[in-house]
Structure formats: structure tokens, C-alpha cells
Amino acid sequence: MAEQREEELRQQIASLKIRNEQEREIRGEGLAQPLWREILVDPFDGTQDPHAHLQAFQTQMYISGGDDKLSCKLFPGTLRGVALQWMMNLPPRSIRVFNDLASLFLSQFAANKSKRLEVADLFDIRQTGGESLKSYMARFNDTTVRVNDPDQKFFVKAFQKGLRIGPFSDALALQKPMSMEEIRVRAEKHIEMEESRFDKRESEHLNKKGRSRPARERPLLMDDRELYRRQGPDRRHEIPPKFTPLKEKKAHIMREICHTRLLNFPQAAGGKQMGKNKREWFDFHRANGHSMEECWTLGAQLEGLIQ
């Protein structure tokens, strides 16, 4: 009888423990939370992409082992400014689960959602003059992440179309790649060669620093113009006024960089006409009659920037 009575007491104690845990969970106290680390996400102030912020938060919560209730408690701590004010103005008891909060959050800040790109947008990406293969590839890869249709076939075509003529473009033309992953692998050696070549040029430049080059070897600058005029027709061939061909017109380039300090604008002509065409205005010299595309001084300065 004593053993039977002892067993009944054990069952009653176990039942009371289970009931107590259930009541605590209903009251919101819950059981001891698993260990979780600090949620490290950039604060959201209402101007960023809400989808990106929510994804970053949920990823951190998944890694930390947080549950739905903990997500509801911690999410407001990632908000700032207008976003936090919006959260504080939500009606009481309007959030039952975290999905409710997430849906309201995405709906409220939907206008800030980043625009998804189309495959056709990739064909507008071009490797600019002087841009390294490494930089172009990084820029192209960053854009592909935002494309709706991850079709490798179009990615490859767009990448090749934007690539400047050179050893790597020739290699891809001879052996056509099947995917962007193949292009990345094959580009590694070309990037190493490109960086090695750049380091070598930098080293040679430092070794020659301080020694002026002959006039025929250095880029033609503004002071060379007067020298070119004074040498006479018999010696002018020693400093050929030839510049690197430009893809854009000089007028367009000047308008793009005129607000910087890259160009050294000459003194205004002060009403002096610099050419035959009285109706043509030249912004660089601030005078009439001069052709911007044929301007030697502007061409020399642009050549200096290219070099």
C-alpha cells in the first residue's frame, strides 16, 4: 500500500509540473530561452529597402536560435527615426505573430523597395577605359544579383559584350564559356597578369621619378604649344601633336568634368576672336571663333589626364 501511495504522489507531482509549465507559457513567460547572440543588423530609418532589412534580421534570428516571440520583441530595436515612430503607433494587440509584423512593415515601406533589374539591363554595362578586369567583373557580378531571371546564357553574352577588346576577350571568343562561374575561374589568371603588369609599371615610374623625359616622349602639355609654334616647320615633326583617340567628343567630356579641378582653364580671351567663325562660342577659352574639337590646348590637357 505504501508503495502504491508513493507512486500516486509521484504522478501528481509530475502532472503539476507539466500544468505549471503550460500556464507559464500561456502567460508569456515561457521556458528558458536558448543562448542567443546579439542581433547585428544595420538600423532601418525608413529610407532603405525593407525586404533587405527584414531578410538580414530573420537570418540573424535563425542563426541565434530565436523564436517567434523573441523576434517580435527584438525587431523594434533595429528601427530608427520614422520607422521606429511607425512601430510605436501600431494599435495595441495588433500583432499576434511575427509574420503579422513583417507584413505590416513591408507594406508600410514598400516604396523603398529596390528595383529588380531585367536581363536586358545587363547589356548596358560596359567596361570603361582604364577600368581593370577585376573592377569590371565585380561591378557586373553585383548587378546580376538584382536580376529577376538568373539565366546564365544571357549573363555570359552580356558580360562578353561589355568587355573591352583585349587578351581576355580574345580568349573567351576562342573558347566560348558556358557559365559565369567558368568566366570567373578563367579570369583569375588574367587578373593576376593585369595586376602584375600594373605593379611593374608603378615600379618603373617610381624609379624614373624626378627625371624629366625628352619632349617627344612626354604628353604634350600647355607649355608645349608655344614651343611647337616657335620651332618652325622644319622641326615640328619632332613633337607630333597627336592625341589618343576619344570615344566621346571633347565638348561632352569638358562638360562632364568642368566642375572638377582636373582641367586648367586659361584666362578669358577678353572679347578677342580666336578663329574665323564668329558665331561659334568656345567655353574652354571663353571666346568666339574657336572650334572645341580642334583645340590643341584642351586636347593636350585631356591627353595628360589619360596618361
Q: Where are the domains of the chain?
A: 24-112, 119-208, 222-306
* Position with higher pLDDT, 280 vs 260: 280
Q: Mind listing the pLDDT tens digit for each residue in 113-153?
A: 877 777 888 888 999 888 889 899 999 988 888 787 677 78
**pTM for this structure?**
0.42
What are the distances in angstroms from CA 30 to CA 17, 106, 266?
13, 29, 77
Residue 94 burial class via C-beta count within 10 angstroms: exposed 0-12, middle 13-18, buried 19 and up: exposed
In the CATH hierarchy, which top-level class contains the domain 119-208? mainly alpha
CA pair distance 54, 137, nearest whole angstrom = 28
Residue 58 clears pLDDT 70, i.e. is over it? yes
Residue 157 clears pLDDT 70, i.e. is over it? yes
pLDDT tier for residue 258 given thresholds of 50, 70 and 90:
low
* Position with higher pLDDT, 37 vs 91: 91
